[in-house]
Amino acid sequence: MTAQPPSAQRPPESAPPPDAPRYLTGFGNHLASEAVPGALPPRQNGPREVPFGLYAEQINGTGFTVHRAHNLRTWLYRLRPQVSAQPFVAIDGPPRFVGRFGPDVGVASPEPQRYRPAPLPGEGVDLLAGVQTFAGAGDPAVKRGVAFHLFAATADMTRVFCNIDGDLLIAPHQGTLQVQTELGWLHVAPTELALIPRGLRFRVLLPDGRAQGFMAELFDGHFQLPERGPVGANGLADERHFKAPVAWYEDRATPTDVVVKQGGRFWQTTLSHSPFDVVAWHGRYVPFKYDLRDFNSFGSVSWDHPDPSLLTVLTSPMDTHGRNAVDVAAFVGRWDVTEDTFRPPFFHRNAAVEFNMVLQSPTQGGAYPTGAFSFTPYLTPHGVSARGYEAAVHNPAAVENRPVRGSDRSVWLQFESTYALAVMPWFFDARDSDFLAGFSGFSVGALGQGPARDPHDAP
């Protein structure tokens, strides 16, 4: 009997979910993967008959006519079209997952704030239900703004989520996330990041039974690697350390709920099948994971503390004037070798907000255990506490100009944005009341000991 051509065959059954998935590497690369050999059309994107009778579907993350270097699109080859035969119905989303930020949403206070780790919820809360917005600005309907969230989950997602409003960057600090995407699996452990482009469908499983972490939601554009500028050709986050999934599919004809966030509102439809039925794909619009411990830190080797922009992992520029919708910075173990320098960050006021998170701490006590976080509003004075200042000035290593190694067991993440974010009231009302007390007790400089004098008087 003559064998049927690939276009008339059905692909074989999919493999079980991988315990240790394989990955493709290279942020920004044009990647290709097929779970079944021959499923990827070798020449055309949309042939009249796709191999194995699959359906071709393109997802675009940018406009059709942008410069080729900025064009983001992926072709998917799947068992069934993803067009839903059921209508979308508006639903109530998670009560604290805020989607739009008007003038009356949140507290726009100039007070620097610190927060203790958030508690885990009760049983049966999946990651989507466990999202709580910390702060945000803007409107996804006009593709301007950013939001920072916390998440806490104690159950696997049985429903599927699709965020059309923005790219999601997910950073767990407790529990590994098994992220099932249309393009394949990502396993994301604490100190790693998951990047899910807008419009891609995914769900999150919890092999450890619970997980907590932080999220950045970007309404503007997409995350990209920062330019290195004078740093040169190497260093910071390297493209090859970003890992994309390999194709994996399931042929499951059971009803599946899909929740979509668009325009700040939540909608739901029910598919007659699993949306994770992509047998092959190729393109540049793909999810990634990244291990912050792969970040190659740069810093000063003479004097003065460098700006934290030198530690940027990912960014999303708003314009050519240095204003960024969001910067993602990593603070991992590294050497500090500056001489005659105040080694913690100096007192400063930035034209940006700062959201600092502890993903890993060598101790569960103290002011900054794993899961703690802080927020500094736009152009608000901040720096180290009085006690920290004295310790830094009189540190023997600083006095003797000895190199100092930052803790390799400490991993901090920072989201920085030029948007003046407002903090949601359920967090603002729970800020750490002990935080501001640390900024009292600074000694007065020598010139401040006597009465004030007229600057025009002779010394």
Amino acid at 370: T
The DSSP code for 69 is: G
Alpha helices in 282-432 (DSSP H): 386-393, 396-399, 425-428
Q: Is-contact 151 250, C-beta < 8 A?
A: no
Amino acid at 85: A
Amino acid at 95: P
- Lookup: tokens for 444: 């007065």
Q: Is-contact 360 410, C-beta < 8 A?
A: yes
Q: State how far the Cα of 150 lies from the Cα of 261, in Å rounded to an integer.
A: 17
The DSSP code for 236 is: B
CA-closest candidate to residue 195, choices 374, 328, 19:
328
CA-closest candidate to residue 107, choices 68, 134, 67, 140:
134
Beta bridge pairs of residue 213: 151, 172
Q: State how far the Cα of 241 lies from the Cα of 279, in Å rounded to an integer.
A: 25
Catalytic residues: 305
The DSSP code for 335 is: E
Q: Is-contact 295 412, C-beta < 8 A?
A: no
Q: State how far the Cα of 350 lies from the Cα of 359, in Å rounded to an integer.
A: 23
Coil, strand or helix at 70 = helix
Q: State how far the Cα of 413 lies from the Cα of 332, in Å rounded to an integer.
A: 9
Q: State how far the Cα of 375 lies from the Cα of 137, in Å rounded to an integer.
A: 14
Q: State how far the Cα of 411 lies from the Cα of 189, in Å rounded to an integer.
A: 13
- Lookup: tokens for 455: 């600057």
CA-closest candidate to residue 77, choices 226, 301, 249:
249
Q: Is-contact 177 194, C-beta < 8 A?
A: yes
Q: State how far the Cα of 357 lies from the Cα of 414, in Å rounded to an integer.
A: 6
Q: How many CB atoms lie within 10 A of CB 174?
A: 17
Q: State how far the Cα of 259 lies from the Cα of 128, in Å rounded to an integer.
A: 9
Q: State how far the Cα of 126 lies from the Cα of 418, in Å rounded to an integer.
A: 31
Give, in degrees to the nearest 5, the angle at Cα 321 between 319 and 326.
60
